[in-house]
Amino acid sequence: MSWDDLYDEHARARMVDEPAKRVPAPERTPFERDRARVVHSASLRRLAAKTQVVGPASDDFVRNRLTHSLEVAQVARDVAHVLGCHPDLAETAALAHDMGHPPFGHNGERALDELAASCGGFEGNAQTLRILTRLEAKSADAAGRSIGLNLTRATLDACTKYPWPRAVETGPKFGVYVDDLPVFGWLRDGISGPRRCVEAQVMDFADDVAYSVHDLEDGVVAGRIDLVQLDAPAARREVWETVRDWYLPSASDEALDDAFARLREVGTWPSAPYDGSRRALASLKNLTSDVIGVFCGSVQHATRKAYGDQPLVRHLADLVVPEVTVLEVGVLKGIAAHYVMRTDDRITLMDRQRTLMAELFEELTKRPSALDRQFRDDLDDATDDAARTRVVIDQLASLTDASAVGWHDRLVRQRPR
């Protein structure tokens, strides 16, 4: 069965039909073209200077949003290959999944959500959809309005981790702003309810895997995490409280202890503190690889057991993530959160970052001439206060960690008193 059979003309459609190239080009599938457009986008490049967990300027080793996205893409491609969904489609969704994140990671996201209260809030995944279908300059409709990268319907659906607008019953996570509902309706044409396509589920799982394993690795190398210390029950109890606060509120100590015990059985789990040697770093990298293999193998086996050997595409299947894997991923995420993100110095830094974003928002609202040209144009087209606020939020979300600090120095700290 060909890819055209598995992904029909409706799935391969673009918002605006594109004429054939005048100059012959190598034959590519629509999803290969989508991947290339994301790879060459400015929004993807900016992720190199945006925080994953630790600021990208603080350490040469730690992940930034771009390196994290590359690792998510590799995991997603491997999982998709086994399940029979298009690997380029899953990889593109993984590459794009964090394009909407603002400076300063999830802390910046929370700050912008508060600042954007009057226009519907802010969510990194909803911002990703906005970038892909509006803000990233590549294509335009017949009226000359930007339609972003003009990706296929299936790719945009795969990029939509939370296929619903903001609502009380769905909590703080959502995937589309009110003024982007028309394009959301187009990409979800024929789909009822909030069910995610299997490619989006692959992307989401790959994100969880990469996030849990690689943030742990960064914390160990930075000297913030000592995995051997967790052999002590008292140390684990503290971490399990963080796991419940941040990720798995109903997980018991016993279930988390069991999950930790299974992780410790991975052959490369350390028996001595990390000492910075090449041998220790190699062992840590092998642990990273082994744990990723355990997580992916578990999900691939469970999903295949549920659906058999047929290719799993679009809305014909759901990824099966065993509860034991959910707990093991939660344990690793909780370790990183407890020892890296909950420290006093981190909390102080996060407070400063939120203040910086609030002051920049206030200044740009008063001085729209300071916006970049494309956002000034958007401001000219805005028809009400909510739309004007959204433009300022779009500008702030586009900044990197360093450029946010630079803009604040230039516009706020150095302004005439």
pLDDT per residue over 142-162, tens digit each? 899 999 999 999 999 999 999
Indicate whether 55 pLDDT > 60: no
- When pLDDT is averaged across residues 14-43 and rounded to a whole number, the result is 86
Is the per-residue pLDDT at 51 higher than 70?
no
SS3 label, residue 51:
strand
Q: What average pLDDT does this structure show over 195-204?
A: 97
Is a pLDDT exceeding 80 seen at residue 136?
Answer: yes
The pLDDT of residue 170 is 79
Residue with tokens 């990671």: 105
Q: Which residues pair with 64 in a beta bridge?
A: 51
CA distance 185 to 181: 6
The pLDDT score that the predictor gives to residue 71 is: 95
pLDDT of residue 50: 80
Instruction: Indicate the average pLDDT of the chain.
Output: 93
Neighbours of 60 (CB within 10 A): 6
Residue 343 has pLDDT above 80, yes or no: no
Q: What is the pLDDT of residue 63?
A: 76
Please tell me the least confidently modeled range out of 248-257, 287-296, 346-355: 346-355
Close Cβ partners of 235 (under 8 Å, ≥ 6 residues apart): 229
> Closest Cα partner for 379 from 398, 360, 393?
393
Round to whole Å and give the CA distance between 261 and 411: 52
Judged against a pLDDT cut of 90, whether residue 60 lies above it is answered with no
Give the pLDDT band (50/70/90) at residue 28.
Answer: confident
Tell me: pLDDT of 73 over 60. yes
pLDDT, residue 64, reads: 86
For residue 38, give both structure tokens: 């994301």
Domain ranges of the chain: 198-345
- Which residues is 14 bridged to in the sheet? 152
- What's the confidence (pLDDT) of residue 1? 78
* Residue bearing the bigger pLDDT, 253 or 105: 253
Percent of all residues in the chain with a pLDDT value above 70, rounded to a whole number: 95
Task: Quickly state the pLDDT bin for 21 (edges 50, 70, 90).
Answer: low
Please, where are the H alpha helices in 59-177? 65-83, 87-96, 105-115, 124-130, 153-158
50: which residues sit within 8 A by CB, 6+ positions away?
A: 56, 64, 65, 66, 101, 102, 103, 104, 105, 400, 401
Global pTM?
0.93
Nearest to 208 by CA among 84, 95, 295, 322: 295
What does the block give as tokens for 240? 């399990």
Residue 58 pLDDT more than 90? no
Phi and psi dihedrals of 86, rounded to 5? Answer: -65, 120
Q: Given phi > 0 = left and psi -120 to 50 = alpha, else beta, which region is 120?
A: left
Task: Please answer whether residues 129 and 8 qualify as being in contact, where contact means their C-beta atoms are separated by less than 8 angstroms.
Answer: no
Residues 6+ apart with CB under 8 A from 182: none
DSSP 276: S
Mean pLDDT of 180-200: 96
DSSP string, 317-341: ------HHHHHHHHHHHHHHIIIII
Helix residue ranges per DSSP H, 248-383: 253-264, 278-307, 323-336, 344-366, 373-381
236 pLDDT band, cuts 50/70/90, is: very high
Q: Is the pLDDT of residue 18 over 90?
A: no
Q: How confident is the model at residue 23 (pLDDT cuts 50, 70, 90)?
A: low
List the structure tokens of 16.
């605006």
CB atoms within 10 A of CB 129: 28
What does the pLDDT read at residue 171? 82
